[in-house]
Structure 1
């Protein structure tokens, strides 16, 4: 399979969008309305490329070794950059960033550790977690300081859902990996 395909191109776009997103997130004092709206649009486009590249790769047989490695790295870079940026700006408590990033990095390490035996596919819960995280982070990227207080509540309700899903799906991946490892060991 050629590395140069549409799915991998979209992954590359996502990698390029991360620093551009950060430039707009931190523009001025980090709380300028126009810059934050632009950062939100860039974040949204990057999230959409994540959804599209995976769908294209599976549907049209564009899965490559490069894509298997680059896609999760691009995802973690986008989510990590957004979370760290929001925490640096004081818009999101650091504990939220730490909890989500520990799970994301831990599962990524686990996936790479078992890559030679096969890919750990994303579960439905993992896909839901990704969607809820993206919505929650996107809401925090918006210039909520200019919006009615109800939007802060909505953003926090969705962020709490993302945190719960993050922890539960992380535990599920670990349990599944342990179970798979035991089954492989018993099957020898």
Structure 2
């Protein structure tokens, strides 16, 4: 197993540990900071594994499948925890997670037809803003950071919708030719 795939597995392993620190009181006030560090490190492995895989031609089918799944697990778990902590509205998380299910389904239909749907820039921007949003909301520094957090929530939501429309529009032939 190559390094990018090991980083992807590490990110997946970090998710339940991150959730544990987000939702328990085991470490007291340190929990927030432990969870924040875990989320940032896990997010950085996402950036790193892709760069390494492309630079050293280590792209694998495992990585193509598991890397986006690991990202979804990390970000969606964080957002669900933020609902529990009253820091994020459930309807926003439902919209964001719904987009992930729709795109995943779209990719499955496309792969049955031999079509690979690559990540778009809109999707990458969406992921960056979702991760930034989660970081700001977990840190919960107050003051101007509350405003920044709110702005990031709305930007992440808008980018989620734009990236969904972009994926569907650019790949609409999958719906007409993919046996649907």
TM-score scaled by structure 2? 0.91
Matches within 5 A, 1:4-153: 4-28=1-25, 32-116=28-112, 117-142=114-139, 144=140, 147-153=141-147
Give me the whole-angstrom Cα distance separating, in 1, the residues matched to 2:175 and 2:56. 31
Shift of 1:75: 1.0
Q: Do the aligned partners of residues 148 and 141 (structure 1) sit closer, same or farther apart at CA in structure 2, a change above 3 Å counting?
A: closer
For the Cα contact (< 8 Å) 2:22–2:32, is it kept in 1?
A: yes
**166-175 vs 54-63, greater mean Cα deviation:** 54-63
Matches within 5 A, 1:157-176: 157-176=151-170
Give me the whole-angstrom Cα distance separating, in 2, the residues matched to 1:29 and 1:157. 31
For the Cα contact (< 8 Å) 1:7–1:54, is it kept in 2?
A: yes
Shift of 1:180: 5.8
For the Cα contact (< 8 Å) 1:72–1:108, is it kept in 2?
A: no
Give me the whole-angstrom Cα distance separating, in 1, the residues matched to 2:115 and 2:138. 36
Q: Cα deviations across residues 71-120 of structure 1 (Å, max 9, x unaligned)?
A: 11111111110011111221111011101100112112211221242321
For the Cα contact (< 8 Å) 1:129–1:169, is it kept in 2?
A: yes
- Segments of 5+ residues of structure 1 without an aligned counterpart are none
How many residue pairs were aligned? Answer: 177
Deviation >6 Å, runs of 4+: none
Give me the whole-angstrom Cα distance separating, in 2, the residues matched to 1:19 and 1:154. 27
TM-score scaled by structure 1? 0.87
Shift of 1:141: 1.4
Give me the whole-angstrom Cα distance separating, in 2, the residues matched to 1:141 and 1:119. 35
Give me the whole-angstrom Cα distance separating, in 2, the residues matched to 1:129 and 1:12. 22
- Segments of 5+ residues of structure 2 without an aligned counterpart are none
